[in-house]
Structure 1
Amino acid sequence: MRRLLPVFLVLVSALVSACAVAPVSSVPSGRNDPFSGGGESRAARQFTEVVHRVEPVAESQCRNFTRGGANCDFLIVVDDRPDETPNAFQTRDSQGRPVLAFNLALIREAQNADELAFVMGHEASHHILGHLDRVQEDAAIGAIIFSGIAAMTGADEASVRSAEEFGASVGARTFTKNYELEADELGTVISLRSGFDPIRGARFFERLPDPGNRFLGTHPPNSERIETVRRTSEAYRAGGGV
């Protein structure tokens, strides 16, 4: 199964580590950093406020949900490369610490703190819910099934390898829409507990192209995500959460 490693790296970067548009390999610091230099911009101040309020809530939710079984010491970083598409994603560093990354375009284009808080809670939820590991497991199962079928039909080694890679891709994509909705639900709770309005925050979906309900798509329809946030928020408030 060692051939699967390159496939996993691509899938984990493109499917779960975010709602990623493009993976970020490093988070440099430089002249484009909104937190460096003389005066902080409005966007930088807003982002800093959201980090201070959301991070402790996300870490508390992580400890409660995983019962100490996961690293809950979130590292929140900014990718300061210019001219990037708005993007935020969750991954882990080489030590297993969960990383929440946001690029300048997303920070600047968020219309309010509620949007940033909801995105941050959503990305933190991917880690809390173990989506990175679950996608790897889904990919491994898909690879085994597809390569096994190819081998049983007498395919040559190259065809078996292609089937393995295709199976990993299919396996990884099978449940990603469910994972996004799960992260929307928990992200809503984190946002509420941090003192933000997730319904207002989820309006950024209205400005995104709707992925529709495509077979093996990586994201659910925007309307379904907005409805998930609304339903979760109402249930939480009705239960006396806030």
Structure 2
Amino acid sequence: MLQATIPMLRAPKGLLGAALLLVLLAGCEAPVMRPAPIAPQAEASDALPSPTQQAANFVRVAGAMEPQIEAECLARTRGRNCDYQIVVDDRPGQPANAFQTEDRSGRPIVGFTLALIAEARNEDELAFVMGHEAAHHIAGHLQSKTQDAYTGAAILGVLAAAYGADARGISEAQNIGAAVGSRAYSKDYELEADRLGTIITWNAGFDPLRGAEFFTRIPDPGQTFLGTHPANGLRIDEVRRTVAELRAGRL
């Protein structure tokens, strides 16, 4: 749970980091209340919140999202570790980023850099990004990408050997195959995580449409060959379709 992970965070650097640490410590003393459902398509402010408000937003969102994320994980998986840990990466100079990984025991970790927390305009954006990253673990995308890499390495390795490549050539072909294989379905995995992340965000009482406005402010990867992320417009469309299904009661 969130309160168990708070003491593991290092003291963040800078004004936002200091504010975040203060609010995190305050969060240990009282339970974080789940937000009331937000009306769809609420208007978002273009103004950045203050560092203290940004920190408070993150703690509140984490407190509301974590139980919903874990409930979705338990409902949708069998035998998968659903004890999420939400952390802040406070290393200096890290760009705005959120990520999902696992520790050595297989416990899922969702991490945010301070820069991303600082760039979020509202709680809905934080919630949507958190739901998206959590969805990767529920959908097993880390394992799928690893298998894709193995498959790509094996195929190109066999082809290189068939064409008479030496050991070095086969190894290079396997490395290329692994890189290509790991990217082959990356865009599909991102859209799948957007869809499931939208459901989680909605069920936790946040507005995923407002949250997806984050995509309008980040560089658009477009349709780059072997790119890892789909175009921002495609991702926003996926969120809109999913919200329409939720409103219609089909999900």
TM-score by length of 1: 0.85
1:35 is aligned to 2:23: no
Partner of 1:63: 74
Question: Against the structure 1 CA distance between its residues 240 and 149, is the aligned structure 2 distance closer, same or farther, given a 3 Å change threshold?
Answer: closer
In structure 2, how many angstroms separate the alpha carbons of the residues matched to 1:103 and 1:49?
17
1:187 aligned to 2:197? yes
Deviation at 1:42, TM superposition (A): 0.8
Identity %: 52
Superimposed CA distance per residue, residues 190-213 of structure 1 (whole angstroms, 9 cap, x where no aligned partner): 000010000110011011111111
Structure 1 moving runs of 4+ over 4 Å: 37-40
What residue number does 1:226 align with? 236
- Deviations along 1:41-75, one digit per CA (max 9) or x if unpaired, are 111110011001111011000000003x2000000
Matched, 1:51 2:32: no
Unaligned runs of 5+ in 2: 1-7, 27-50
Matching of residue 161 in structure 1 with residue 146 in structure 2: no
CA distance in 2, matches of 1:186, 1:77: 21
Matched with 2:30 is: none
SS of residue in 1 equivalent to 2:20: coil
Corresponding residue pairs, total: 214
Instruction: Give SS of 1:73's match.
Output: coil
What displacement does 1:84 show? Answer: 1.8
The 2-side partners of 1:174 and 1:48 are apart by 35
Q: Take 1:231 and 1:37, find their aligned partners in 2: how far apart are those partners?
A: 39
Distance 1:31 1:124 in 2: 23
CA distance in structure 2 between the partners assigned to 1:112 and 1:30 by the alignment: 23
1:123 alignment counterpart: 133
Please point out which of 97, 119, 122 is paired with 1:109. 119
Query: Matches of 2:9 and 2:68 in 1, distance apart?
Result: 27
Write the letter of the residue equivalent to 2:152: G
Counterpart Cα distance in 1 of 2:145 and 2:89: 25
Report the equivalent of 2:110: 100
2:91 is aligned to 81
Q: CA 1:31/1:220 → structure 2, altered by over 3 Å: closer, same or farther?
A: closer
State the AA in 2 paired with 1:222.
N
**Separation (CA, whole Å) in 2 of partners of 1:237 and 1:135:** 32
Q: Show the counterpart of 2:3.
A: none
Aligned residues of 2:153 and 2:181 also touching (Cα < 8 A): yes
Change (3 A) 1:61 1:28: closer
- The change in CA–CA distance for 1:171 and 1:240 in structure 2 (over 3 A counts) is closer
RMSD (CA atoms): 1.6
Q: Give the deviation of 1:36 after TM superposition.
A: 2.4
Match of residue 15 from structure 1: none
SS of equivalent to 1:41: helix
Structure 1 unpaired stretches of 5+: 1-26
